[in-house]
Structure 1
Amino acid sequence: MGARAIGVAGTLAMTRYLHPKQIGEVSDAVIVAMTANWATIWGFGQYTVIKGRGDDAAEVTWHATVAYMTLGALSLGLVALFGGELMPFFDAPRAAAYIPLLALALFIRRIGAIPERVLQRQMKFRAAGMALFAGEIVYTITSLSLAANGHGGWSIVIANVVQSCVVVVVLVRASGIASWATPTPLKWSRFADMLKYGVPLGVQGLAHGASRYWDNLTISHYFGPGATGAYNMAYNLADIPAVQVGEQIAMVLMPSMAELPKERRAAALERSTALLSIIIFPLAVGLGLVAYPLIALIL
């Protein structure tokens, strides 16, 4: 969570150097690229954590790696080539130039996705946390340095690529290549089981991403990227309790619950949800109460 706090602080400081329109253009490009990424994340990571245990660990992990990388290359390659055609519809034609590098950043991040899940499966959360921390530090330094030197929206785009590289290097080094990239014979039956397990999660993930981000594209279409930049900053601040706190705890809960006997999982889920509510709801209410003086202070 400390790493997330650094990232949020860096994002807020970015408003000192970039116009809301520049932030909005990058935001539009990021959302288009992320949508292509979500479209091919079909629960392979969760499958690796839940099913990749015992004698099947190597087979499950290798199949997840192949599926994740192949589908990612397809969807992100297509958006890199053709995603820019969508940007005039969102009144952000200049954002088209950002999409190829953002797609590259997302693909690089995919390389580290299965290693991260392997670490979670092994309950090694420290390594994943250190990767996130290093990535946020590098992102903040890179983006602010470039923005301060007048590179505009490209400062955010380039910082995303640098961040992805750093995160993946840390994750791969911590997990070891053999733990996730040891080839085994590919089986259609395994891929079929992965799809049966993961497609509902993929649909849920795409719907979640759309509910959280596509409204930015609607704002951009009707009011332009300048309004989108301001709207996006406000949304991200309001979302701090859920994303910066709740999602980080949830990342630890999933592999932890997978270790529990099945008969204890329902009660554990109910209890953890209640505890998360006790933490997050007061944070959200408090943030709303201090929103005006907080914005006046930091922006």
Structure 2
Amino acid sequence: MKKVDSSKETTLRKMVWSFMDTFGSKGIYLIIQLILARILTPSDFGVIGIVSIFIVLSTVLYDSGFANALLREKESTQSDYSTVFLYNLMVSTSLYFILVISSGIISRYFDTPQMGNIIRVLGIVLIIDSVGFVQRIQLTKKLEFNLLMKINISCPIISGVVGIALALNGFGIWSLVFKLLMTQALLALLYTITNRWKPSLVFSKTSFKRLFNFGWKLLAAKLISQFYENLYALIIGSGFSMSTLGFYTEAQKLSTSASYSIESSVEQVSYPVLSKFQDDEPRLKDAFQKTFRNTVFIIFPVMLVLAAIAPAMFRLLLGDNWLPAIPYFQIMCFAGIFTPLHSLNLNILQVKGRSDLYLRKSIIGNLIATIVVGSVLIFNLGIYGLLWGLVVDYFISYFNNASHTKLLIGYSIVDQLKDIRIVFAISLFTAVVAYSFNTMNFINDFILISTQLMTSAFIYLALSYVFKIKELSTVYLLTQPIQKKIWLKRI
């Protein structure tokens, strides 16, 4: 049997473990959210959606690009890690107090009195997360994705069970708050116990300056990016009802459960692995292209088939209260196709140390988003205009992010599109067939979804074989050891 070359095997096999980690933790999170969605109201999720925006923006601020700066370096010292740890702890604590002071203003702006107390309690996750920040970076740098998978799956299970118990006992929206707090506390604790690294009381100006000089541009880029990614939620939260925002946030979470799992796996694994080839352009290009092709092979069918089975999936899993969110979800599945492709192309900029280009592309991308959102608001296109605008934004941004890949490693947009076209056509055909089943009469939605998924898997794999898509054999070869390991455990 044909063997896979070592660099591809290293990258993609680690990606499989990382994908199992992210997909597993996201899967658990999704199951918990589905159960809670049947107990709580859409407006509860809308309020948490708004609060989460401020938490995420604060997280980007105390990260300050240090995560990528540390991952990019081949060797980091105790002084480097300790400096980042102390900086994160100090900044996260300061940001928490800023949120506490601002909580009243935020709750009055969104006309939701309980939001202030929720911000004051949920904001504690900033401090908790900063404690496990360096531990997580070290485990990622060591490529300990098997260990990370166990941690990232077990924590949501424990906190999810507690959240469901609280919701069933009438705690309402606070069950979501305590679930999130408990998840972050468990993650930080387990990262610390398993990694066993202890910070020193050392703050090195030299380390800080070196890491920050690389990271500040990424900080600015990610801060702008996160603001614009959450701009839709802010507009919906201020211009529509909290229930509408709840439909949007949950549809977004459901759609990103798949796209983010793949994006996170790609970014988490490809960045440290590609960084090893940063000075060897031929190997870097080869590793990048193979990672890109394998990512496309997975993301396209997953997102398009999810859009196809959405009506039955929402009826079965969420119930009638959430049916208005179906078209939101379907539209965002189209946007989610581009998410991992953005990450890959931006990773190359970081690998090559071009954080200046990263910042420039982020600014251009968000100017595009501003134009799109502004046009939607000017022409009063409503919620669906905003959602389709998101797809347009992601589509244009992909070309913006990929434009410098040719200059840096010789892999142009044209080359990428050639690698995409056949897989996209097969995926689209598969999704159309799956969607056609929605017009037929089935005994129940479970049988309908099962039929759609089995048919989709058969068609996609069969057509991939017919058109000789080599990623089919690559994924099979790379997952064989994992398949055997799972099978042996079952025996």
Alignment of 1:257-268 (within 5 A): 257-260=274-277, 262-263=279-280, 264-268=283-287
Q: Deviations for 1:244-270, whole angstroms, at most 9, x for unmatched residues? A: 232133212222223335213343223
Could you tell me which amino acid in structure 2 is paired with residue 146 of structure 1?
L
Q: Secondary structure at the match of 2:171?
A: coil
Alignment of 1:143-154 (within 5 A): 143-154=163-174
Whether the 8 Å CA contact 1:90–1:217 is kept in 2: the answer is: no
> What is the aligned counterpart of 1:271 among 269, 287, 290?
290
Whether the 8 Å CA contact 1:29–1:87 is kept in 2: the answer is: no
Following superposition, which runs of at least 4 residues in structure 1 exceed 6 angstroms of deviation? none
- Please name the residue that 1:238 is paired with: 255
- Please name the residue that 1:97 is paired with: 117
Q: Which moved more, 1:104-113 or 1:146-155?
A: 104-113
- Please name the residue that 1:20 is paired with: 42
TM-score (norm 2): 0.57
- Please name the residue that 2:64 is paired with: 42
Whether the 8 Å CA contact 2:233–2:245 is kept in 1: the answer is: yes
- Residue 221 in 1 paired to residue 243 in 2? no
Q: Secondary structure at the match of 1:239?
A: helix
Q: Which moved more, 1:44-53 or 1:103-112?
A: 44-53
> What is the aligned counterpart of 1:284 among 280, 288, 303?
303
- Please name the residue that 2:151 is paired with: 131
Larger Rg belongs to: 2
Shift of 1:50: 2.1
Structure 2 unaligned spans of 5+: 1-22, 319-491
**d(CA) in 2 for partners of 1:246 and 1:37?**
19
Whether the 8 Å CA contact 1:83–1:99 is kept in 2: the answer is: yes
Could you tell me which amino acid in structure 2 is paired with residue 6 of structure 1?
I
Whether the 8 Å CA contact 2:70–2:211 is kept in 1: the answer is: no
**d(CA) in 2 for partners of 1:274 and 1:203?**
30
Shift of 1:40: 2.8
Whether the 8 Å CA contact 2:233–2:249 is kept in 1: the answer is: yes
Q: Secondary structure at the match of 1:114?
A: helix
**d(CA) in 2 for partners of 1:237 and 1:276?**
19
Q: Which moved more, 1:242-251 or 1:101-110?
A: 242-251
Shift of 1:241: 2.3
**d(CA) in 2 for partners of 1:163 and 1:5?**
15
> What is the aligned counterpart of 2:102 among 82, 92, 97?
82
TM-score (norm 1): 0.92
Whether the 8 Å CA contact 1:134–1:166 is kept in 2: the answer is: no
> What is the aligned counterpart of 1:182 among 182, 200, 208?
200
Q: Secondary structure at the match of 1:273?
A: helix
Q: Secondary structure at the match of 1:226?
A: helix
Structure 1 unaligned spans of 5+: none
**d(CA) in 2 for partners of 1:214 and 1:84?**
21
> What is the aligned counterpart of 1:7 among 8, 12, 29?
29
- Please name the residue that 1:69 is paired with: 89
Could you tell me which amino acid in structure 1 is paired with residue 61 of structure 2?
A
Q: Which moved more, 1:112-121 or 1:60-69?
A: 60-69
> What is the aligned counterpart of 1:296 among 309, 315, 327?
315
- Residue 205 in 1 paired to residue 222 in 2? yes
- Provide the identity percentage: 18
- The 3 A distance-change label for structure 1 pair 261 and 41 is closer
Shift of 1:107: 1.8
- Please name the residue that 2:186 is paired with: 166
Q: Secondary structure at the match of 1:10?
A: helix
Aligned length: 294
